[in-house]
Amino acid sequence: MNRRPTSMIGTLGAGTDSFRVLARCHLRPVRGASASPGAYPGRMQPYPQRGGAQDGEAPSGEAAREQLDWGALPDAVRARLAELAAAALGTLSKVDIPQAVRPVAKFAPAKRAKLGAPALLSALRDSAAFRTAVLEWLRERRQDALDPNAPDSVAAAAAAVLLGESDASSRVRLVAKNAEETTLRAERDQALTRAQRLEGEVERLRAELSAALEAVDEARSEREAELDKLRGRLREQGVVLRQAKDAAAEARAVAAAGGDQRDAEIKALTARLERERQRVATERARADRAVTEANNARQAARDAREADEVRLGMLVQTIEGAASGLRHELSLGGSSTRRPADSVRGASAGGGDGARVRDGSALDRLLSLPNAHVIVDGYNVTKTGYPELALADQRDRLVGQLGSLAARTGVEVTVVFDGAGVLSVPAAAPRGVRVLFSDPGVLADDVIRSLVAAEPVGRPLIVATTDRAVAESTRHSGAHPVPSAVLLTRLGRV
């Protein structure tokens, strides 16, 4: 029965060239023989070792040395073993590479030791064939890596582990001890550095405390000096106060001697001052009444003038309306003289139903007509333009835009809202805009129809709504229905 190479090599003495030569002499090529477990044709196979333990038998004598715990290897030794195995992995044949390590052979050479370290270490520990192949590669190309007496303790420990040296465990423990000592030494250096830093901080704090104490002493000295000055001033003020008291006592004695005469003079002076105060108060009240009367007269004159202007304006409008109505009723033209073109039959100047407005240009032409009146179906327009707002915010936004339209074009604007559910009515509206709310039980649509019917025939009327029934009924009354979207587009340009 063939012995495993690691058992044969592990039995050799440690660290001498004669044992390495003897280990090579125990290997011979096997040609034409069938492969046994752990042996491959064409590889160097070990001869059975005389007097040694066979497979399955407990080791004895020199072979019964301390077992190596691969799981407890220091990180430096594990990295060294993975590096050596990864270096050999690229040149080994596929039959020498265990199944678990073959994916690692596909990695880039620079990444095999880092990414495949666990698989490489497991293969070195569990596969004698793989370990033997790695040793042969190292003997051929990296003989220096198999020197258990290398100055570097990590390299020596890795070589001892690969060669199965009897003192491999002690070398591993030495590396672990060195690493622990290095870690402890670094921690000690850090602790010393931290202690030095803390000592410096303590010295700085001591210096700051000393400076603070000196400042406190200096401040105490200044306070004591200031207190002495204040005590001196207090003594001086006490002397002055006693002198003032003495002078006051003397003055009271003198005043008591001539008190009656002085009291009489004081009473006379007081009476005179009271009479003067009453006179000044009377003059001031008279002046205030005069100013109030003047302001009232000025306000009355202003109110009378404004009332006259309003009455005059209403009178002029009434006269103009009457004249326009008479012209329309009597079918009179702009002048009393008829023109030949007025007698042509087969054509008329228009009238009857109002025309529908379908775009902004047509609406601008109607707004430019004199004495035009725009009637707006309030919620119909607001719910078309900005339905996401609350009803009160919708009303405020529409009324504000209509106020700008009235200011720019001079048209009369009336907006009608449905009064149902309205809790608060705006106190005031922009100039030129009339805001109406339908009474309980009355629809805003009926109010709009009543407004159109109340207007004289011939006046340009514009009704903004998308309600088909309202649009048709007002159109038959002579108004021009305008879709809400068209009006909103026009308001957006204001």
In a domain, 348, yes or no: no
245 and 322 in a single domain? The answer is: no
Beta strands 373-377; 461-464: pairing state? parallel
Per-residue pLDDT, 325: 63
CA distance 331 to 188: 119
Per-residue pLDDT, 427: 56
HSE toward the beta carbon, residue 69, CA cutoff 13 A: 7
315 and 202 in a single domain? The answer is: no
3-state secondary structure of 418: coil
Q: Return the structure tokens found at 288.
A: 């205030």
Per-residue pLDDT, 112: 79
Select from 10, 57, 17 the least CA-distant residue to 166. Answer: 10
Using CA atoms, how far residue 413 sits from 180, 367, 399, 403, 430, in Å, is 95, 11, 10, 8, 10
In a domain, 352, yes or no: no
Q: Which residues, 6 or more positions from 434, have their beta carbon under 8 angstroms from its beta carbon?
A: 412, 413, 414, 415
HSE toward the beta carbon, residue 301, CA cutoff 13 A: 6
In a domain, 481, yes or no: yes
Per-residue pLDDT, 328: 62
- Decide which of 332, 351, 385 is a domain's last residue: 332
- Helices and strands, counts by H and E, the chain: 16, 7
268 and 250 in a single domain? The answer is: no
Q: Is the dihedral of CA 287, 289, 293, 298 positive or negative?
A: positive
The whole-number mean pLDDT for each consecutive block of 10 residues of the chain, a chain of 494 residues, reads 36 36 35 33 33 35 53 80 81 82 81 81 83 85 78 78 76 76 80 88 91 91 90 88 86 74 83 88 88 86 78 72 66 50 45 73 89 93 93 92 91 90 65 90 92 89 93 92 93 74
Q: Which residues, 6 or more positions from 38, have their beta carbon under 8 angstroms from its beta carbon?
A: 2, 4, 128, 129
In a domain, 179, yes or no: no
Q: Which residues, 6 or more positions from 39, have their beta carbon under 8 angstroms from its beta carbon?
A: 2, 30, 45, 129
What is the rounded end-to-end Cα distance, in angstroms, of the chain? 108
- 66 backbone dihedrals φ, ψ, rounded to 5°: -65, 130
Residue 42 Rama label (left phi>0; alpha psi -120 to 50; beta): left
Q: Return the structure tokens found at 45.
A: 């196979």
Q: Return the structure tokens found at 134.
A: 């790695």
Select from 349, 394, 336, 379 the least CA-distant residue to 466. Answer: 379
154 and 267 in a single domain? The answer is: no
156 and 108 in a single domain? The answer is: yes
CA distance 178 to 336: 129
Contact 481, 463 (CB under 8 A): yes
309 and 375 in a single domain? The answer is: no
Find the CATH number of the domain harbouring 417: 3.40.50.1010
The domain of 229 spans: 190-255
Residue 344 Rama label (left phi>0; alpha psi -120 to 50; beta): beta
In a domain, 101, yes or no: yes
Query: Using the 8-state DSSP alphabet, how is residue 63 labeled?
Result: G
Per-residue pLDDT, 419: 81
Per-residue pLDDT, 421: 65
36 and 128 in a single domain? The answer is: yes
11 and 143 in a single domain? The answer is: yes
CA distance 361 to 357: 9
Per-residue pLDDT, 329: 59
In a domain, 467, yes or no: yes
Per-residue pLDDT, 399: 93
3-state secondary structure of 439: coil
364: number of Cβ within 10 Å: 13
93 and 139 in a single domain? The answer is: yes
Beta strands 44-46; 27-29: pairing state? antiparallel
Which pTM value belongs to this model?
0.34
Per-residue pLDDT, 494: 54
In a domain, 161, yes or no: yes
The amino acid that residue 418 corresponds to is: D
Q: What is the 3-state secondary structure (H, E, C) of 10-55?
A: HHCCCCCHHHHHHHHHCEEECCCCCCCCCCCCCCEEECCCCCCCCC
CA distance 386 to 447: 23
In a domain, 36, yes or no: yes
Using CA atoms, how far residue 465 sits from 377, 390, 473, 486, in Å, is 5, 20, 12, 10
395 and 326 in a single domain? The answer is: no
Domains identified in the chain, total number = 4
30 and 161 in a single domain? The answer is: yes
- Decide which of 230, 255, 280 is a domain's last residue: 255
Contact 117, 132 (CB under 8 A): no
285 and 235 in a single domain? The answer is: no
